[in-house]
Amino acid sequence: MRKCRFCERPAIVRLRYANLPLCDEHFKKYYMGRIKKILDKHRIRGEILVAVSGGKDSMALLHALNEISKVEDSIGITAFHINLGIYDYSQKSEDVVKKFAKEIGVVLITYYLKKEIGHTIPEIARTSRRPPCAVCGIIKRWVFNKVAYENGFDYVATGHNIDDVSTILLKALLTQDIYTIIRAQSEFSPPKIDMKLVGRIRPQFYLSEMENRLYVELNNIPVIEEACPLSIGATTHKYRSIWDSILRMNPASQINLVRSILKLRSQMIVDEPQLVQCKKCGYPTESKAGICAFCRLMERVHRTGE
């Protein structure tokens, strides 16, 4: 059995992209170090609203940020969960998040979609005739920013991992989706408070789903194990499966792809998106018509539902 790179104990994992065997304690230290590196790199200070779905990525993030906030006086965290109204799945997710937030002593804000905007994700997807995952993305981005801005938070932290990001960019490359290549999420998006836009931080940007799952297991963090029933058949899953064979050949391929695209993007001459405040909700949009994606979606729902 391999030994840990940093001690004599048996390694429980070998991170192939770094050829790094680690025992349980040194894996946890390594993981926390990767999270803290992103925070330090972008000089994150202030109040962070941590978006928590109940899945392994966001629950690992909440735990890690809470541990960091205990020793970093300049950072404060609050958990945030959206009950999306997705059948029994949403109630199970809410229960897991509530129990864990209470266990670790973190304040939790819960946002009920049905109560706040009058519709659940299944209802909006059905009425708008849009794919559920696309609808969910639009809704969550708008809600995260609105709640964070209205409650005085400096940043929203989300649990996007390298599997998520690399798959989005791989799909964009293979489908000539130039907009996504140019505008896709990075590890940090600065706030623009004059436009009612809160900063975004993605501390797990270069951590994998496997690493998040291991961190959850080692720290006995409860998670909802079942997948969202509305995500079954999503095209993203098909593109993600492509990585299996690529990673066997080159374990660093996901990280290399993302870093290469971000580096190329930084050297491209592109016009910065012109943000304006939505004519309906007042939150930022790049739309030339001045109506944000959320408000356009809700207009469609109300029009179709009449």
Complete domains list, the chain, with CATH:
35-269 (3.40.50.620)
> For residue 306, is pLDDT > 60?
no
**What would the pLDDT profile of 66-95 be if each residue is shown by its tens digit?**
999 999 999 999 999 999 999 999 999 999
What are the start-end ranges of the H helices in the chain?
A: 24-41, 56-71, 87-104, 113-117, 121-128, 132-150, 162-174, 178-183, 209-218, 235-240, 242-249, 253-267, 293-305
Distance CA 14, CA 11 (A): 7
Indicate the range of 102-116, 138-152, 183-197, 202-216 predicted with least confidence. 183-197
The answer to whether the CB of 200 falls within 8 A of the CB of 189 is yes
Instruction: Provide the mean pLDDT of the chain.
Output: 94
Considering all CA atoms of the chain, what is the largest pairwise distance in Å, rounded to the nearest integer?
68
Banded pLDDT at 303 (limits 50, 70, 90): confident
Banded pLDDT at 55 (limits 50, 70, 90): very high
**What would the pLDDT profile of 174-190 be if each residue is shown by its tens digit?**
999 998 898 888 999 99
Share of the chain above pLDDT 70, in %: 99
- Rounded to the nearest 5 degrees, what angle is found at the Cα of 219, between the Cα atoms of 52 and 225? 50
